[in-house]
Structure 1
Amino acid sequence: MSLARRTRLAALLAALSVGTAGMTAWAYGHGTERPQAAPEAVVTPSVTEGSALQVVAHPDDDLFFMNPDLSRSISTGIKVTTVYLTSGESDGRNEAHSPHLQDAAGPADRAAYAEARQNGIRAAYAQMATGDRASAWQRKSVPTAGGGSAEVDVLVARPHVNLVWMELREARSISGDNPESLRGLWDGRTPALGAQLTSGTPVKDWFSYTKDQTVAAIAGVFETYRPTTIRTQDPTPGRAEGGGAFLDHQDHMYGARFVQAAVERYAKTTARPHFSVQNYVSYPNSSLPPTLDPQTAEEKLGYLKTYAWTDHQDWCGSPAGCGDRKTATRPTGAGWSQTIRYSRGDGTSWMTEGVSGRLWAFAALDGRMAYWSRSGPQALWQGPEFLPGDGIDSGAAAVRLWDGRIGVFATRTTLGATPQEYGREIVYAVQNEVDGGFGPWRSLGTPDTVDTSGTSAISGPSVAVDPEGRITVYVRDSSRTLRARAQETPGGDFGAWQALGGAGLQGDPVTATDASGRRHVYAATAGSVLAWVQPAPDAPFGGPVPTGLPQTTGALSVRPEGDGVRLFFRRPGIGTVATSLARAGGPAPEFSPVAEAGGLGGYGAVGIAGDLLAGRAGAGTVGVAATDGPQSWQESQMLYTGAPAGVAEGAGTAVAAALGLDADLHVITTVPAGGAALPGGRTPAPWHRAVQPWTLAQAGRPGTTTAGGQPPR
């Protein structure tokens, strides 16, 4: 980066760190009060809004696999609800899994052990919300849409924090084939799954659910709480090598599939807000590098220790116990306290620029593909509009095609009428004309040809367009190898799926083309990064070849740079962003020494917009930083879902975007010297809603309308 460009960018970032109307650089809920819009404000800076609802299989899945996203959401003051599908009764012994301890632990009592886990969860949530694990809860029984009952707990001091206990029977085995389980219910091997009521629960009458009643009960919870962000586990974690056991607990996997079915049903209701879905990796984190910095990991571990009742003090007065003593023997899990990782929606290529200078941004909302557009740096954003068709998974990849149209690629889940019909596929839609509407979804199928109902653990797609206009789609298959499917002619049919090799691939592959026309594809493994690079334009790929790059957290980003492409990735255990420039030539690409990029701390993928990084800062908020060396993130006050995207526009502006927990698109724009990024010549704004409730003197006040004349949601 030139000195002049670096100086302009540094000045812009400094201005953005101050923000509008006295906004600080720290997230609301992390030591500051929510800012009030000043009368002269042009835009309202983004803050965390909406509501978040987690659905997990067992008590502690949220603490192990969704924190710190969970605790940070609670701290903002938005509505946070967690739903537990099963009681997690296990073997009914509130002690470690050790044969010589079972006699000392007394007889098995599944109702009591499930109650102890409830007590531990209530303590952890009370601590996250109030700092006091003994803060009081109001507990009540409520009827469900499935014909049974659920326990609902409301934290008295912070009533925006709710827990919903569905109290179904768990599988009582990680992978054992037990028909009396969520798996057996999904597969039709048991007609109904019974309840496992906890001791002390206000739910008094035993019940059971059919498959449809289970879906109805979960969808009914969605209708009650009307979330804008739904968090759940991974419905397709895959199997061990050779088609062995599932890589995750069967309750995690099949519980997430019930959530998918409930989401599909809920999406068909009216009078609800838009919502996004975020999926989380669970047990497979054990074999992957840590993603959290030591301070964040220690905070997460503290909540787990509260849940695990590690001090064994009788603070709750329950005969069942005040927490989960099984977890107390290893509150870190299998390294889970040091990690959070998304199984979908971690790609950063979901925004692109058309030939006319129009920007297009895509995100899955309500199980459909939504898109926003902006005709130029001086114009207002419009949207969201929706492509027809449902079942669209989180994540998208957008590209400009050879003729100037825009194409969007995603994965789609088909639930099917029978369990054997469950599966995922790659789909794409293309504009009918430049800047026009989109045609129907077309399917590229899946590179997985066996056990699609049991695994379907494909990644999101990465897409390239060659100089001749042919599209190639790259995806990681369920065997953790790289696969590709390419058009035979521009706009024509796609050939068969090709096997490009590799082993143990993690996350989504990324691709970019250098100035010489050579295509690069990179994919992370647990220990490094593998590369596939054309030695010359249109030449067959070499690779996979080892890059010699250090271990990453798995989420990669890439941009063209001169005669090479530059990779960006997070360092394990500290979260800082590092970078290396790859140049093609010879049998393998050559990499520059790894250097620190902007952005210290945080986790997840980073979006690249020219010389601007956008990513999750240490406090969990979305922030921006320059790419040319270690520096702090310039933070917003907004938590978000998925990964940010970025575009360096032909006009010289750089735009970064993120999907907030409110299911709205939020953006930030940098401008060249002397430029104006916003209508009317206004200076660059901090992070704000793309479709902003504009006013001249009444920002944020009742009666405000959006650019399209509609009241803000």
Structure 2
Amino acid sequence: MPRPALSTFRRGLLWAAPIAVLAGITGGTLTFTAGSSDASDVPSRGVPEADAVKPVRTSGEAVVQIMAHPDDDLFFMNPDTAQSIASGHSLTSVYLTAGESDGRNARRQDPAPRADKAAYSEARQNGIRAAYAEMATGNRTSPWDRTSMATAGGGRAELDTLRADPRISLVWLQLREAGSITGDRPHSLRGLWDGRVERLESQLAAGSPVRDGFAYTKDGTVETLTGVLARFKPTFVRMMDPTPGLNDRTGKLSDHQDHMYGARFAQAALARYAERPGRPAFAVQNYLGYSTGGLPHSLDPKSTAAKLRTLKTYAWWDHTDYCEDPAGCGDRKVAARPAGHGWAQSIRYARGNSASWVQRGASPGELYAFAVLDGRLAVWHKGGAAAARWTGPVLRPGAGLDAGVTSVRLPDGRIAVFGTRTDLDGEYRREVVTSVQSEPGGRFGAWRSLGTPERDDETATSDISLPAVLVDRAGLMTVYVRDGGHSLSASAQRADGGWGPWRPAGGRDLRGDPVAATDAKGRGYVFAGTPGTVLAWAQAAPGGPVAGPVATGLPATTVALGASPDGADGVRLWFRKPASGDVRSARFAGSGLASPVRDAPGGVAGHGAVAAWEGRPVVRAGSGAVAASAGGPWAAGRGLFAGAPAAAPAGFATLGLDGRLNWTPWER
């Protein structure tokens, strides 16, 4: 795929190149001014080259999205998809199944047509092509070039390229879908993954240039996806949640089985692709599926309206024969409910919401930043001198990390990093892991497993959150995760350095990732969202027991939370107002009850977690770029980024979709 010249990525502010961007605060207003490049591949302090690998650089970002069905991207990944299209960088969407369903392309009030799975698959392809063309050019009839390409699994796939913008591609693998959300369908991605069938057959769309059917084994499916990744060389991969959990009421999967197992095939392919030399480093973002509709809406009205317009195009809402294809111009099943079950009004990251991935080092002004690239911990380092530049990233040993990590600073100056890791060899398993510096400023130790509060994968699909961590004055840590039963579980570190068993910590109907913060007096707080409020666990006095859950009295949030110290005796919880994206906060000091909710300056709708330092919030704006406020109007940068921003005393950071660290100092 063609890539823009490197200079393209260095235009503007906070673009996804390693550019230091200076922030000035004047009269309460944050302004951005361009700084100089600080790119470097020098290993971070404390990470010897013998134990680490430097990622391969690339000239710019390239995004690959992997979905089970045509429309998973439009329902669950938009507006991120539209923002990638608008960015002008490479975007490739890969659809594992044909999405043939029962073969009847009709909304509920339409007469039921004759079942024709090939025609319905073609109609859904037409709807996707129209939606992408409209997002890219404003014209749903902008033409595509449709070709057939060989796959590494021994079959063939359809490759569609938008003629007006060849950086936009669609890849149709055209495997058979399950045809049921949770029903027992052995001939499906789930049955192939679990070994109930040896091969899964294809379902070709009526107009596809792929004319001969095929079938893939489990390994062949993984190898096919690995080959697609090798062809398009992503720096950023979007996929659904491979561990969506169970519905509390029914006990069945909370998401479509194709979404879940399609994501697991993508995980396996990414793990295999990560072993290939010479490719650019990549990060991953996971998206919540069906269950996002049962949570407060996360998008503002403008973003929802744009998303709904795209869905109506895909759904062939006007039912005019603009595509001149007898199969149909879109998915009429979606036309019955183009917003889905509340899906058009929201977007949620299933992992990677941590805003605590930048941490102070042992020396004054020293900073570390952490992210997950290639399934490994990436470490950047900045010395304490005012003129010091960021160095890195280097990748620490140990593969299989899931997107997103959190970090804490111990009383002696050491840093501990926490995340979750997925084991794909043998029985599927996720576990909490940690890596701790051997000494202040020293090397990070090998990953240590803390296990999981889940009994096995079958119990709740290994659905655990990113850890939240409290540190006491003796340097002992307690880790909290939301478990598959949507309650909080905790594991405490012992005086000998070992870790105790996972124990229930209470709470019901918890969603998303818990967050933790410690106030200046040493009191710890843990917060977790529910669909209707936020629950808290808090220490009444430093070193005392963590009590909770306590009802905070807070209104509903969009679930993604952030927390930071606030003043001499409290912490501030940051969140977003449902259906607007506006930033709000509440202060806690020694109890679980919140102070009155405070609204940040308006005008910066968006989604995702809020990072903050000393009352200065940093967020993802509605454009997808970073925005920050110093108590006055919001100032927005440019360029898309992964996960959540992170804030520190010296400035704030984002991880660009090209896998590079973007850093903006606070200018005092």
TM-score (norm 2): 0.91
Aligned partners of 2:30 and 2:629 also within 8 Å:
no
Residue 42 of structure 1 aligns with which residue? 36
Deviations 1:533-585 (A, max 9, x none): 1222222222111111011000111112221211110101110100111122x
> How far is the alpha carbon of 1:611 from its aligned partner?
3.4
Residue 97 of structure 2 aligns with which residue? 86
Rounded Cα–Cα distance in structure 1 between residues aligned with 2:170 and 2:202: 17
Residue 214 of structure 1 aligns with which residue? 221
Rounded Cα–Cα distance in structure 2 between residues aligned with 1:105 and 1:532: 54
Aligned partners of 1:12 and 1:670 also within 8 Å:
no
Rounded Cα–Cα distance in structure 1 between residues aligned with 2:634 and 2:429: 39
Residue 596 of structure 1 aligns with which residue? 599
Q: Confirm or deny that 1:494 pairs with 2:488.
A: no
Residue 312 of structure 2 aligns with which residue? 305
Rounded Cα–Cα distance in structure 2 between residues aligned with 1:44 and 1:79: 25
Indicate how the Cα distance of structure 1 residues 12 and 595 shifts in structure 2: closer, same or farther if over 3 A, else same.
closer
> How far is the alpha carbon of 1:261 from its aligned partner?
0.1
Residue 31 of structure 2 aligns with which residue? 15
Residue 534 of structure 2 aligns with which residue? 529
- The letter for the 1-side match of 2:593 is E
Aligned partners of 2:356 and 2:646 also within 8 Å:
yes
Indicate how the Cα distance of structure 1 residues 243 and 261 shifts in structure 2: closer, same or farther if over 3 A, else same.
farther
Rounded Cα–Cα distance in structure 2 between residues aligned with 1:140 and 1:167: 14
SS in structure 2 of the partner of residue 120 of structure 1: helix
SS in structure 1 of the partner of residue 638 of structure 2: strand
Residue 418 of structure 2 aligns with which residue? 409
Structure 2 counterparts to residues 327-346 of structure 1, below 5 A: 327-346=334-353
Residue 646 of structure 1 aligns with which residue? 647
- The letter for the 2-side match of 1:429 is S
> How far is the alpha carbon of 1:464 from its aligned partner?
1.6
Counterpart pick for 1:370 among 373, 378, 398: 378
Aligned partners of 1:423 and 1:452 also within 8 Å:
no
Structure 2 counterparts to residues 62-461 of structure 1, below 5 A: 62-96=73-107, 104-241=111-248, 244-357=251-364, 358-376=366-384, 377-417=386-426, 421-451=427-457, 455-461=461-467
Residue 551 of structure 2 aligns with which residue? 546
Residue 29 of structure 1 aligns with which residue? none
> How far is the alpha carbon of 1:402 from its aligned partner?
3.1
Rounded Cα–Cα distance in structure 2 between residues aligned with 1:199 and 1:453: 40
Counterpart pick for 2:658 among 650, 655, 662: 662
Structure 2 counterparts to residues 619-630 of structure 1, below 5 A: 619-626=623-630, 628=631
SS in structure 2 of the partner of residue 15 of structure 1: strand
SS in structure 2 of the partner of residue 336 of structure 1: coil
Which deviates more from structure 2 when the two are superposed, residues 325-334 or residues 606-615?
606-615
Identity across aligned pairs (percent)?
A: 53
Rounded Cα–Cα distance in structure 1 between residues aligned with 2:167 and 2:507: 47
Indicate how the Cα distance of structure 1 residues 482 and 52 shifts in structure 2: closer, same or farther if over 3 A, else same.
same
Rounded Cα–Cα distance in structure 1 between residues aligned with 2:655 and 2:404: 11
Rounded Cα–Cα distance in structure 2 between residues aligned with 1:451 and 1:162: 35
Aligned partners of 1:505 and 1:524 also within 8 Å:
yes
Rounded Cα–Cα distance in structure 1 between residues aligned with 2:380 and 2:116: 54
Residue 33 of structure 1 aligns with which residue? none
> How far is the alpha carbon of 1:325 from its aligned partner?
0.4
> How far is the alpha carbon of 1:8 from its aligned partner?
7.5
Aligned partners of 2:571 and 2:587 also within 8 Å:
yes
Rounded Cα–Cα distance in structure 1 between residues aligned with 2:30 and 2:445: 43
Query: Number of residues paired by the alignment?
Result: 623
- The letter for the 1-side match of 2:266 is V
Counterpart pick for 1:578 among 557, 576, 584: 584
Rounded Cα–Cα distance in structure 1 between residues aligned with 2:228 and 2:448: 33
Rounded Cα–Cα distance in structure 2 between residues aligned with 1:563 and 1:435: 29
Gaps of 5+ in 1: 1-6, 21-40, 649-653, 673-713
Aligned partners of 1:56 and 1:84 also within 8 Å:
yes
Indicate how the Cα distance of structure 1 residues 14 and 547 shifts in structure 2: closer, same or farther if over 3 A, else same.
closer
Rounded Cα–Cα distance in structure 2 between residues aligned with 1:264 and 1:138: 31
Rounded Cα–Cα distance in structure 1 between residues aligned with 2:569 and 2:587: 10
Rounded Cα–Cα distance in structure 2 between residues aligned with 1:124 and 1:293: 21
SS in structure 2 of the partner of residue 73 of structure 1: helix
Rounded Cα–Cα distance in structure 1 between residues aligned with 2:460 and 2:221: 20
Counterpart pick for 2:509 among 504, 509, 517: 504
Counterpart pick for 2:469 among 443, 453, 463: 463
> How far is the alpha carbon of 1:318 from its aligned partner?
0.4
Aligned partners of 1:424 and 1:452 also within 8 Å:
no
Which deviates more from structure 2 when the two are superposed, residues 423-432 or residues 77-86?
423-432
> How far is the alpha carbon of 1:468 from its aligned partner?
1.2
Deviations 1:161-181 (A, max 9, x none): 100000000000000011000
Gaps of 5+ in 2: 1-22, 40-58
Cα RMSD of the aligned pairs, angstroms, is 1.8
Rounded Cα–Cα distance in structure 2 between residues aligned with 1:207 and 1:632: 57
SS in structure 2 of the partner of residue 121 of structure 1: helix
